[in-house]
Structure 1
Amino acid sequence: MKAARFYGPGDIRIDEIPEPAVRPGTVKVEVQWCGICGTDLHEYLEGPIFAPPAGAPHPLTGETVPVTLGHEFAGVVAELGQGVAGLAVGDRVVVEPYIVCGRCDACQQGRYNVCATLGFVGLSGFGGGFSRYVVAEQRWIHPLGDLGTDVGALVEPLAVAYHAVRLSGARAGHTGLVFGAGPIGLVTTAALRAAGVEQVIVVEPAGVRKTKAATAGADHVIDPTEADTVGSVMELTQGRGADVSFECAGIDAVLASAIRSTRAGGTCVNVAIWGHQASVAMNDLVFREVSLVGSLAYANDHPATIRMIADGLVDPHQFITGRIELDDIVSAGFDELINNKEENVKILVRP
């Protein structure tokens, strides 16, 4: 079968590789759609980062580059391994793309998203969504019901947002504040709206993304190049600040604004993966007892995220800005997202 494999910076190739074989307790999924994630872009531009480099195999997969990319994928069940029950060939499903040890303290707590040897299908080995077939353990297979597999490919990024919103404690009557209207900022905005948050404010300077933020559910969009962000948030919240805020940019100045815009006793959630050591003004946290929380991916959030979509609380179609074939993944996918990042949110690939 054909697969898009990552070899190194700027080097993704369409290779012919063997189809994976089903094993006891596993499910073979025929991938119908797989989204290109910002993490994939970072690998393409600067990697290997999450992908295990040559000479340093991943401790759970034993693999190194080249690896098949793609971790935001959905498809149909093609084959069931011995002992698998509750699924049938042809079922539409999404794969939660984790590779975890199950033994470390984090896994024992149920926080498998921060496993000591965490890996991801589509980054660390065991195949990936930019290929026709993926085999995964049944625990990672989530039925989509009547939802389409194109929507299914949006479950993974929406689960990231659902997890962050859940950790924040956001609820009806709260004000939510999102810094950055890139793909993760937009799905976080939508997840806040789905959670019943009363007022959603987004901070974003780019014109196209400001429009997308409003479509995703923002009541107010602040352009930090035109207005004082903290002052504007205070004005919109009668001087209190936001109950919950979300840093989705990975920029020191943005984190500082997020903390200062959060009300006393509120929660600031860092969702971004940082490319450098962050600088934090600790007194901004201490003097108003603001909680700063890290949020990584998701854990036990896929079923609730699927229900959120099925109940019509979020429209995933708004985030799909392109559909391409596997052979075009570099020119019409990766390069398009890099060169026209403001116009695009999620490009789906049909492998």
Structure 2
Amino acid sequence: MVRARQAVITEPFKTTVREVEIPDPAPNQILIGAEYSAISAGTELAVYTGTHQWLKDPAMPDWKFPFRSGYSAAGRVLKVGKDFPGGFAEGDRVSFPGNHASAELLTVGHERCRVWKIPDNLSFDKAAIACISRYGMGVSVRAGLTVGRSAAVLGLGIIGQFSLRCLLAAGAGPVVGIDAVKMRRDAALAAGADHVIDPTAGDIKQQLNAFLGTKGAEIVGDATGVPDAIPTAMSLAGDAGQVVVVGSPRGKAKEVNFYDDLHRRYIEVTGAHGNMLFEPAHTRLAGAWDIDKAQKWLIRQLAAGRLSLAGLVTHTITPEQLGDAYEGLLKDKDNYLGVLMKWV
């Protein structure tokens, strides 16, 4: 039996920390103690503000208040059930899709029961971001060939940052980041972006074309989460270019000119949700990708430093500060970007 602390959203705009008792693992379970967990701003703020569509869906019972937010953590294995697969042992250092909690019990067969060992040279704070990074990685995977291809990422929040950084790690170039928030642009430059664009400084398309010296980028990642931004992303792609949507655009775009902006220009627009992208049925992915392969690639890149975290983490908080962090991510974008929660 382990006594654990959980940071939860009790209702819109309210959080708390509660204590629960977690039993020893059954034969098909694993008990993990977290060192750090990371905030995924898009998903968690949609729940915090009460706007996430699944909150009202009766078919999604886990998405109701009080809601256990978070899906990216790192820590140590505390106990392992005798039938749990993977050869894990007590003390193993692991990355897992954990909630914001000091300990968590995962059960074989549940969609969140995924655990990956991490090397000794990868610190827990860096490993805690690995699951979130997969949602940005979708641009690189969905685009297929990336080496030497020009790319632009629209929206440089946490998912957009990983879209840009994974493109860099995958050999794309030049890679351009686009965001109105200076701190986010600076973070992209710190990670190695070739150029950044401030949309408030003039026409985005003209700025991008002037830097590239050509008409549009070969790959455009949309990480804004705003439906009306997708037509803008399409306009930034060159003829026969690819637009990959990795942000979660909850809602409907008002104006899309499919004939002029997509059909006649041979633009490819695809979705790349960090879970659904890797479903076994999605055989179109070059490289036989699945979630396990993606996470192992990300962990290797993080450990080797090829996937840069420079400028990304702006705050490390206690569980009691979760509400303050959400408010900062909502209202103080000049100062808040990546947020880690420390449990030990």
TM range, smaller chain: 0.7 to 0.9
What is the distance in 2 between the residues matched to 1:346 and 1:174? 27
1:296 aligns with 273
2:257 aligns with 281
| Match of residue 155, structure 2, among 161, 174, 180 | 180
Which secondary structure state, in structure 1, belongs to the residue aligned with residue 242 of structure 2? strand
1:169 is aligned with what amino acid?
A: G
| Match of residue 129, structure 1, among 87, 99, 102 | 99
1:12 aligns with 15
Sort the Cα spacing of 1:156 and 1:7 in 2 relative to 1 into closer, same or farther, 3 A: same
Query: Could you tell me whether the CA contact under 8 Å between 1:187 and 1:216 is conserved in 2?
Result: no
2:220 aligns with 245
CA positional deviation for 1:64: 4.0
What is the distance in 1 between the residues matched to 2:66 and 2:302? 34
- Calculate percent identity across the aligned residue pairs: 24
Query: Could you tell me whether the CA contact under 8 Å between 2:127 and 2:302 is conserved in 1?
Result: no
Q: Counterparts of 1:170-319 in structure 2 under 5 Å?
A: 170-279=145-254, 280-283=256-259, 284-298=261-275, 299=278, 300=291, 301-316=294-309, 318-319=311-312
Q: Counterparts of 1:132-151 in structure 2 under 5 Å?
A: 132-137=102-107, 140-146=114-120, 147-151=122-126
2:334 aligns with 342
Sort the Cα spacing of 1:158 and 1:45 in 2 relative to 1 into closer, same or farther, 3 A: same
CA positional deviation for 1:20: 4.8
Query: Could you tell me whether the CA contact under 8 Å between 2:227 and 2:250 is conserved in 1?
Result: no
Note the alpha carbon deviations across 1:293-345, whole angstroms, 9 max, x for none: 001114321111111112221122532211121122223x2223223222122
Query: Could you tell me whether the CA contact under 8 Å between 1:189 and 1:217 is conserved in 2?
Result: no
Q: TM-score, normalised by structure 2?
A: 0.85
Which secondary structure state, in structure 1, belongs to the residue aligned with residue 248 of structure 2? coil
Query: Could you tell me whether the CA contact under 8 Å between 2:228 and 2:253 is conserved in 1?
Result: no
CA positional deviation for 1:252: 4.9
1:157 aligns with 132
1:321 matched to 2:314: yes
Which secondary structure state, in structure 2, belongs to the residue aligned with residue 140 of structure 1? coil
Gaps of 5+ in 1: 98-127
CA positional deviation for 1:48: 5.5
| Match of residue 45, structure 2, among 24, 41, 46 | 41
1:58 is aligned with what amino acid?
A: M
1:105 aligns with none
What is the distance in 2 between the residues matched to 1:20 and 1:149? 25
Query: Could you tell me whether the CA contact under 8 Å between 1:322 and 1:346 is conserved in 2?
Result: yes
What is the distance in 2 between the residues matched to 1:206 and 1:69? 26
Q: TM-score, normalised by structure 1?
A: 0.83
2:115 is aligned with what amino acid?
A: I
2:282 aligns with none
Which secondary structure state, in structure 1, belongs to the residue aligned with residue 95 of structure 2? strand
Which secondary structure state, in structure 1, belongs to the residue aligned with residue 22 of structure 2? coil
Query: Could you tell me whether the CA contact under 8 Å between 2:157 and 2:337 is conserved in 1?
Result: yes
Query: Could you tell me whether the CA contact under 8 Å between 2:92 and 2:117 is conserved in 1?
Result: yes
Query: Could you tell me whether the CA contact under 8 Å between 2:187 and 2:310 is conserved in 1?
Result: no
2:67 aligns with 67
Sort the Cα spacing of 1:149 and 1:51 in 2 relative to 1 into closer, same or farther, 3 A: farther
What is the distance in 1 between the residues matched to 2:45 and 2:251? 17
Which secondary structure state, in structure 1, belongs to the residue aligned with residue 73 of structure 2? strand
CA positional deviation for 1:216: 2.4
RMSD between superposed Cα atoms in Å: 2.1
Query: Could you tell me whether the CA contact under 8 Å between 2:54 and 2:60 is conserved in 1?
Result: no
What is the distance in 1 between the residues matched to 2:297 and 2:311? 20
Query: Could you tell me whether the CA contact under 8 Å between 1:170 and 1:176 is conserved in 2?
Result: no
Which secondary structure state, in structure 1, belongs to the residue aligned with residue 49 of structure 2? helix
CA positional deviation for 1:32: 1.0
Note the alpha carbon deviations across 1:139-173, whole angstroms, 9 max, x for none: 61011112111111110121112233111124111
Query: Could you tell me whether the CA contact under 8 Å between 2:5 and 2:103 is conserved in 1?
Result: no
CA positional deviation for 1:245: 0.2
Sort the Cα spacing of 1:249 and 1:312 in 2 relative to 1 into closer, same or farther, 3 A: same
1:282 is aligned with what amino acid?
A: F
CA positional deviation for 1:67: 2.9
Sort the Cα spacing of 1:48 and 1:203 in 2 relative to 1 into closer, same or farther, 3 A: closer
2:105 is aligned with what amino acid?
A: V
Segment drifting more, 24-33 vs 63-72: 63-72
1:210 is aligned with what amino acid?
A: R
1:133 is aligned with what amino acid?
A: A
CA positional deviation for 1:31: 1.0
